[in-house]
Amino acid sequence: MTVKTLEDLLAEGVEGRGVLVRSDLNVPLDNGQITDPGRIVASVPTIRALVEAGAKVVVTAHLGRPKGAQDPGLSLAPVATRLAAELGRNVQLAGDVVGQDALARSEGLTDGDVLLLENIRFDPRETSKDDAERAKLAAALVELVGDDGAFVSDGFGVVHRKQASVYDVAKLLPHYAGTLVAAEADVLARLTESTDRPYAVVLGGSKVSDKLAVIEALAPKVDTLVIGGGMCFTFLAAQGLSVGSSLLQEEMIETCKSLLDRYADVIHLPRDIVVADSFSADAESKVVPAHEIPDGWLGLDIGPESAQRFSVLLTEARTVFWNGPMGVFEFDKFAAGTRGIAEAIAKATGKGAFTVVGGGDSAAAVRALGIPDGDFSHISTGGGASLEYLEGKTLPGISVLEESEGA
């Protein structure tokens, strides 16, 4: 990635200048409480560097999917509180996105102040497919930092989106990759261009269709491709096995058959499954061979034999990429498979392997299970962006940074 970085901006000087930062602060909430602050913590280095250099920092971010309308339950208020705690300084929260309150507060900023705009997705222009609509919102964002302002893209979790605060604003201001975006791009480039072997990929989650493109892209390049989570049952069905009431994408069975035919020496499926009589934390459960899932029961985790077999493959790898839990880790009874995979990857890290946890549910699982971030080489903040990068897709929020400066 050949773009100007935060270091370049700091070298040019930001004291007294307005700097718009697009961060990824899309954290999970439970009754208004942040359950995993990982993305907030990851956003701090870029914001702190700008603050300490005397910039007037305006941060824009989204939370959830409010679909272009005000939603009090998706306000960034709890995020502002946590961000202030992480920075150790006051963070103002605007009462709107680019309205009167945001404008008034931005005009009142002094050097080193931080203003967080309200959820950018409260404005329908953010995600509009109409270029002109997005451009209007981008222009309003630019107004908040002034003609001599700059834009720092630091939300890797959204760089695969062609949205106003990610893409269009970079066309109007001198633009730079923040610490997080630059680091994420470097990590993913390493996964695609200069991997040490053996190279192992672990994919979980619910749907084969969500991961099909990355399977097609990576299967020819890796030594081991472990498949778990809900998506494994469509692969088991493709082998002619009954999967009971487990999650199944019948329309993907033929595709899975083709993948198994082409990459039989690479793809590894569970040999045993933890099944339950219902989808609940206190369901009756038992371990059964993958070919003996009872009618009416559903698989909610990989079994202990599978976790052990996968662990052997992973601990011997020199490069590991993991995206998607092995089971319903939110229920303690069905978290063992995901824990086993996480611990195996952590062990590989300790032996010198380059290991990447691909954001989203995988990162949430690691933290929920109490496994330290430092046990992995890198925990991505962008699950969807990571996958699209590995698929070989162009990420709009990255490609626009590679273009010449805006106004």
- Confirm whether residue 25 is marked as ligand binding: yes
C-alpha gyration radius of the chain: 22
360 is known as an active-site residue: yes
C-alpha span between 118 and 107 (Å, rounded): 16
299 is in an annotated binding site: yes
Distance in angstroms (rounded) separating the CA atoms of residues 54 and 51: 5
Among 39, 82, 162, 339, the one annotated catalytic: 39
Peptide bond into 78 cis (omega under 30): no
Residue 121 known to bind ligand = yes
190 assigned binding-site residue: no
39 is in an annotated binding site: yes
Q: Is 318 annotated as a binding residue?
A: no
Residue 341, SS3 per DSSP = helix
Q: Is 133 annotated as a binding residue?
A: no
Residues 6 or more apart whose CB falls under 8 angstroms from that of 75 comprise 63, 118, 119
Annotated binding residue 383: no
Is residue 175 annotated as involved in ligand binding? no
Give one DSSP letter per residue of 309-326, joined into a string: HHHHHHHT-SEEEEES-S
Q: Which helix (H) or strand (E) holds 378?
A: strand 378-379
Say if strands 285-289 and 272-276 run parallel, antiparallel, or are unpaired. Answer: antiparallel
Of 271, 384, 393, 406, the catalytic one is: 384
Q: Is 362 annotated as a binding residue?
A: yes
DSSP letter (8 states) at residue 277 = S
Q: Is 24 assigned a ligand-binding role in the annotation?
A: yes
Q: Which helix (H) or strand (E) holds 58?
A: strand 56-60
17 assigned to active site:
no
The tokens for 148 are 């001599």
* Residue 39 a catalytic site member: yes
Active site residue 4: no
359 is in an annotated binding site: yes
- Annotated catalytic residue: which of 48, 89, 207, 257? 207
Q: What is the DSSP string of 34-77?
A: ES--HHHHHHHHHHHHHHHTT-EEEEE---S--TTS--GGG-SH
125 marked among binding-site residues: no
Query: Any known ligand binding at 89?
Result: no
Q: How many whole angstroms separate alpha carbon 223 and alpha carbon 202?
A: 11
Catalytic residue among 360, 382, 383, 397: 360
Known binding-site residue numbers for (2R)-3-phosphoglycerate: 39, 121, 161
Known binding-site residue numbers for ATP: 211, 299, 330, 359-362
Task: Just list the catalytic residues.
Answer: 39, 207, 360, 384
Known binding-site residue numbers: 24-26, 39, 62-65, 121, 161, 211, 299, 330, 359-362
